[in-house]
Amino acid sequence: MPQVRIVLVETSHPGNIGSAARAMKTMGFHQLALVAPRQFPHPEATARAAGADDVLEGAKIYATLQEAIADCHLVIGTSARPRKVPWPSLTPRQCAELVKKEGALIKIAIVFGRERCGLTNQELDLCHYWLFIPCNLSFSSLNVAAAVQIVTYELHLASVESPWSVLSDSRLATQAELESFYAHLKQTLEDIGFIHSAKQGPSLMRRLRRLFGRIRLEKKEVDILRGILSCAQNPDRGKNRVQEID
Amino acid sequence: MPQVRIVLVETSHPGNIGSAARAMKTMGFHQLALVAPRQFPHPEATARAAGADDVLEGAKIYATLQEAIADCHLVIGTSARPRKVPWPSLTPRQCAELVKKEGALIKIAIVFGRERCGLTNQELDLCHYWLFIPCNLSFSSLNVAAAVQIVTYELHLASVESPWSVLSDSRLATQAELESFYAHLKQTLEDIGFIHSAKQGPSLMRRLRRLFGRIRLEKKEVDILRGILSCAQNPDRGKNRVQEID
């Protein structure tokens, strides 16, 4: 993880500091800097941190933004509105790419402004880049902790190399196993009287192939389905069978 | 924008409902459904909505998750932890891609669980996909409104990158139609003796829900499958039936 410091400037509500600490920690970030917070520490901050107490306890408090970012090599300031002077700007995703590229060796600060009015122009002047979070332009009032959540989420995503895949390593059925299943299905549909003319079979089977083909059946699922087909072919035998399905 | 409904299940703290409404609105989403909220409406919800009052006022309240998603064609449930049975899973970004692909014509629900314990296995069984938000695995306790913020942020990003496309004009089955199909399937498996003990049913049905959930069944396909089930339940009747399948 790169050394990223989250800097909150003159936060009014201590609950927002707690929520921001929680948001940071869920994404693996721990360095919090507070510039002239109105109330801190505060029970509401602790309550909303919901277990990110270590982030709150480690938070450093500064009188000015200049002091909070003095040792940083890259400073990115969040802004909700375009300013008069054009400035190098980033989306959260571009910010994450930049941090990923540069973050190994340098100290980085990402700065979030006041609840009501964000960062001043003078504070934004201290930043190398401005960061805009894409949002609904007719209601762009993102909560400060929500903004921290989005930015740290993008940083976290960029830091994990490969996408997080949780789906199974179960083996997919081979084409041959699928063909055996389709043959068994067709025979069963004839046995139970669902297909009762040669003319009708092909278009129905085409529909069912389309349907089951979409699933990408696993081998184990083919086994379950064929077990069901066997029971449908011979209900009495099914009733006496011992089954093992986990 | 696609019709995406954000569903919050048994939210304990009204403040979280307000924060979630604000998060939704910042990203351009307005359909909020609440399943058995502990306290709602509530001044804390209104305070935290911070101007998203219209989202709160339009929120619909349901007694059960089933009712909240009955008319939806695609249901995505958020989950913090991997479950025993692997299930088709999405990251928020993959979720946004899917919604973008399918969202123009269908109703989509994204479901968020309780603050303390998320969604139950039974509730997750109702979902076509599970959504995992990548995070710090040693502190994965995302606030529910923060989770809504991340997911709607990804949906918003996908929507501004390029216009929504249309998947197909075949009508997908609604959740209510799928539930009728699952009930019919379970009854049939009992009738033909494939399920022959109460203990065995739930895990088998979970596997079959996972399997059929992956297909994204169309209404017409549900009708065919239910026709097959009826024949399996009563083979003799099937043999005399005249069928019309194109």
Q: At what angle do helices A175-191 and A201-215 cross, to 10 degrees?
A: 140
User: Looking at chain A from residue 120 to 179, which residues have their Cβ under 8 Å from any Cβ of chain B?
Assistant: 133-136, 139-143, 145-146, 149-150, 153, 156-157, 160, 163-168, 170
C-alpha span between B62 and B74 (Å, rounded): 18
Report the pLDDT value the prediction gives residue A32, as an integer from 0 to 100. 98
CATH superfamily label, B3-161: SPOUT methyltransferase, trefoil knot domain (3.40.1280.10)
Closest-CA distance, A82 to chain B, in angstroms, reads 17
Q: Which residues pair with A3 in a beta bridge?
A: A107
**Per-residue pLDDT at B147:** 98
Q: What confidence tens digit (pLDDT) does each residue in B171-187 have?
A: 888 889 999 999 999 99
Share of residues in chain A with pLDDT > 70 (%): 88
Q: In chain A, where do the E strands start and end?
A: 3-9, 31-35, 60-62, 74-78, 89-90, 107-112, 129-131
- Segments making up each domain of chain A, as ranges: 3-159, 175-239
Q: What is the mean pLDDT of residues A240-246?
A: 45
**What's the gap in Å between the CA of B239 and the closest CA on chain A?**
4
User: Region B13-32: what's the mean pLDDT?
Assistant: 97
Token pair for B8: 């919050």
Between A117-121, A198-202, B26-30, the lowest mean confidence (pLDDT) is in A198-202
Check whether A167 has a pLDDT greater than 60: no
Of the CA atoms within 13 Å of residue A168, those in its CB half-sphere come to: 18
Confidence bin at B149 (pLDDT 50/70/90): very high
ipTM: 0.76
Instruction: Provide the pLDDT for residue A103.
Output: 76
Residue B20: the pLDDT is 98
Mutation site for B-interface testing, chosen from A22, A25, A26 by largest number of B Cβ within 10 Å: A26
pTM comes to: 0.79
Among A5-19, A58-72, A169-183, B61-75, the minimum mean pLDDT is found in: A169-183
Q: Does residue A41 sit in helix, strand or coil?
A: coil
Q: Are B4 and B99 in contact (CB under 8 A)?
A: yes
Contact B195, B201 (CB under 8 A): yes
- Supply the pLDDT for residue B103: 78
Prior bond of A88 cis (ω within 30°): no
Q: Is the sign of the CA dihedral A216, A218, A219, A222 positive or negative?
A: negative
Instruction: Please compute the mean of the pLDDT values over residues A143-172 and round it to a whole number.
Output: 76
Distance CA(A37)–CA(A22), nearest Å, equals 17
> B113 and B123 in contact (C-beta within 8 Å)?
yes
Instruction: Give residue A244's pLDDT band: very low, low, confident or very high (50, 70, 90).
Output: very low
Q: Does A208 touch chain B (CB under 8 A)?
A: yes
Nearest to B141 by CA among A20, A18, A151, A50: A50
Architecture, CATH, for domain A3-159:
3-Layer(aba) Sandwich (3.40)
CATH of A175-239, one of 3.90.780.10, 1.25.40.10, 1.10.8.50, 1.10.8.590: 1.10.8.590
Is B39 at the interface with chain A, CB within 8 A? no
User: Please, what is the angle between helix B144-161 and helix B14-26, to 10°?
Assistant: 10
Place of tokens 């930043």: A127
> Sorting pLDDT into bands at 50, 70 and 90, what band is A162?
very low
Structure-token pair, residue B163: 């216009």
The strands making up A89-90's β-sheet, listed across from edge to edge, are A60-62, A31-35, A3-9, A107-112, A74-78, A129-131, A89-90
Q: How far apart are CA B148 and CA A153, in angstroms?
A: 13
Which of A98, A122, B153 has its CA nearest to residue A89? Answer: A98
**What residues in B contact A12, CB-CB < 8 Å?**
none
Residue among B90, B153, B203 with most chain A CBs within 10 A, to mutate: B153
- A166-184 burial, b at 16+ Cβ within 10 Å, e below that, comes to beeeeeebeeebbeebeeb
* pLDDT of res. B238: 53
β-strand partners of A206: none
In this prediction, residues A189-205 reach a mean pLDDT of 84
For chain A, what is the mean pLDDT? 87
- Sign of the CA dihedral with B25 first, then B27, B33, and B38 last: negative
pLDDT band at A197 (very low <50, low <70, confident <90, very high): confident
Q: Is B211 on the interface with A (CB under 8 A)?
A: yes
Read off the pLDDT of each residue in B128-157 and give the average, rounded to a whole number. Answer: 94
Q: Could you give the CA distance from residue B26 to residue B36 in angstroms, rounded to a whole number?
A: 25
Confidence of residue A84 (pLDDT cuts 50, 70, 90): low
Distance separating the N- and C-terminal Cα atoms of chain A: 40
Select the more confidently predicted residue: A3 or A41: A41
A165 pLDDT exceeds 70? no
- Which of the residue ranges A20-29, A143-152, A203-212, B14-23 would you say has the lowest mean pLDDT? A203-212
Residue A179: per-residue pLDDT? 86
For A192, the token pair is: 């139970």
Contact A216 B214 (CB under 8 A): yes
What are the residues whose beta carbons fall under 8 Å from the beta carbon of B94, sequence distance 6 or more?
A: A163
pLDDT of residue B88: 85
Query: Which whole number is the average pLDDT over A90-97?
Result: 92
Cα separations in angstroms, B157 against A93, A144, A148, B151: 10, 19, 17, 10
Q: What pLDDT, on a 0 to 100 scale, did the predictor assign at position A4?
A: 95
Map residue B74 onto helix, strand or coil. Answer: strand
* pLDDT of the residue at A41: 97
Q: Which residue has the higher pLDDT, A133 or B2?
A: A133
CA-nearest of B240, B210, B180, B187 to B87 is B210
Rounded to an integer, what distance in angstroms lies between the CA atom of residue B113 and that of residue B117? 7
* Cα end-to-end distance, chain B, whole Å: 35
A243: contact with B, CB 8 A cutoff: yes
